Structure 1
Amino acid sequence: MKADAHRQWRLLDLQKLDTRLAQIAHRMANLPEAAAYQQAVAELDELDSKLVRARTQDSDVERERAKAEADVQLVRDRAARNQARLDAGTGSSKDLQALQSELASLARRQSELEEIELDVMERAETAHAIVTKLEQMRPERAEAVELAETAQAQARSALEEEAENHRRRRTDVAAGVGDDLLALYEKILASTGMGAAELRERRCEGCRLELMRADLDRFAKAPEDEILRCEECQRILVRTGESGL
């Protein structure tokens, strides 16, 4: 294939644009801001899950506390009624002795229930404190998600704008390459990720290997408009003033 030197040189400009477009695509697919956003969302989701469990626990313990208080109050009410009857002295001696016995039993029961109530109250206090702490943390986590989402959107927008600018420039550059040379370049680009490379100081800038002496001699004798290919990577080699031929 033949192509004048000017068309070949434009391949280097085209390759620079394609290299940057590939870098942008890779960054878009592996955006640090996207990873940070996903991490922030995961942390918020984890906090919300903990908050649901904590609120459930708090509600359960609160019901226990209410029941414990009710149980203690029932015993206190019963003891108060018995004490009132005992103080009134109504009833037979046997009935009064039974009341005294029951009062002693109720006192022991009240003591046991008050210990249970105290334990439940302590657990309720702990459960409520956990809920309060998690609720206080949530606004900060939610704000972190919003900030991360904004940073991700801004990063994507900047990359998309840069990519669009490069695509417009690529269209202009490609138009000056010519259909035949462009087709060869894009075929190689699709298979290797780089369609053209500079021949610089007797080295292919594509595979970074120094060319054999025989290839260099052949390239030095080749007409200016002849398309050269690297024997190692098959990329189009573009000669410049620094090729060392």
Structure 2
Amino acid sequence: MKADPAVQRRLLDLADVDAELARLAHRRRNLPEHAELAAAEAAVRAAKDALVEVETKVGDLDRDIRRLERDIEGVRARADRDQKILASSGVGAKQAVDLQHELETLARRQGVLEDEELEVMEQREALGMDVQHAQRTLDEGQVNLIAVTERRDTALADIDAGEAGRSRAREAVVADLPADLLAEYDRRRARGGTGAALLRERRCGACRLELDRTAIAALRAAPPDAVVHCEECGTVLVRTPQSGL
């Protein structure tokens, strides 16, 4: 394949653009914000789970408190009824003894229920503080998630702008290249990642290896418009007065 030396040097411009596009793509894949965002999302999920867990416990205690309140109210109602019966006329001695015994039993039952209610209410109060803490943790996590998302989006927008500019530059360079030379460049680039490189002081700009005497002699003998390649990595070598030939 042959191409004017000046056209071949345009391959170096194309290689520079492609290298920058590759760096931008690498940066996109390896943005630290990706890991930060994943961690922030995991933290929010954990905070939500913790809040649901403690709220569920609070709900269970609230139900226990309502149940105890109903039981205490039932005991009080029964005691009031017995008191009224006991205070009424026509109550026999045996019935009075039975009523008094029941009132004592109800009083003990009420005391047990009220102690249990107090204990549950203390647990509920402590859990209320846990709910507040869990909610604060979730709120802080969500604020951090928003901040990390904004940083990630800003970084991606910067990369998008860089890629758009480099893509336009690539189109401009490609427009100056013959189809066969561009195809050769793309083939070499697909194999090794670099389609063309400068031969500087007998060293390939792609693989950084110094060519041996045989390769240098072959390059020196090749016509200026011949498209030549590095014998080590296969990259198109662009020869200039700096090549050391």
Query: Equivalents in 2 of 1:200, 1:68: separation in Å?
Result: 90
Question: Which residue of structure 2 aligns with residue 208 of structure 1?
Answer: 208
What residue is the counterpart of 1:126 in the other structure? 126
Give the letter for the 2:17 counterpart: L
The residue correspondences of 1:57-96 to structure 2 (distance < 5 A) are 57-86=57-86, 91-96=91-96
- 1:237 counterpart SS class: strand
The 5 A counterparts of 1:1-245 are 1-86=1-86, 91-245=91-245
Bigger CA drift: 155-164 or 85-94?
Answer: 85-94
What CA RMSD, in Å, does the superposition of the two structures yield over aligned residues? 2.2
* Runs (5+) with no aligned partner, structure 1: none
Whole-Å Cα distance in 1 between the matches of residues 238 and 163 of structure 2? 25
1:58-116: CA deviations, max 9, x gaps?
A: 22210111111221232233334434544667512212211222122223222322232
Residue 238 of structure 1: how far off its partner (Å): 1.5
In the alignment, the residues of structure 1 paired with residue 148 and residue 68 of structure 2 have an alpha-carbon distance, to the nearest angstrom, of: 47
1:183 is displaced (CA, Å) by 1.3
User: What is the distance in 2 between the residues matched to 1:241 and 1:123?
Assistant: 86
Shift of 1:168: 1.0
Instruction: Name stretches of at least 5 consecutive residues in structure 2 with no aligned partner.
Output: none
| TM-score, normalised with respect to structure 1 | 0.89
Count residues with an aligned counterpart: 245
Contact in 2 for aligned 1:68/1:120 (Cα 8 Å): no
Q: Distance in 1 between matches of 2:61 and 2:242?
A: 81
Q: Which moved more, 1:79-88 or 1:57-66?
A: 79-88
8 Å CA contact 1:230–1:236 kept in 2: the answer is yes
**1:197–1:237 contact (8 Å) kept in structure 2:** yes
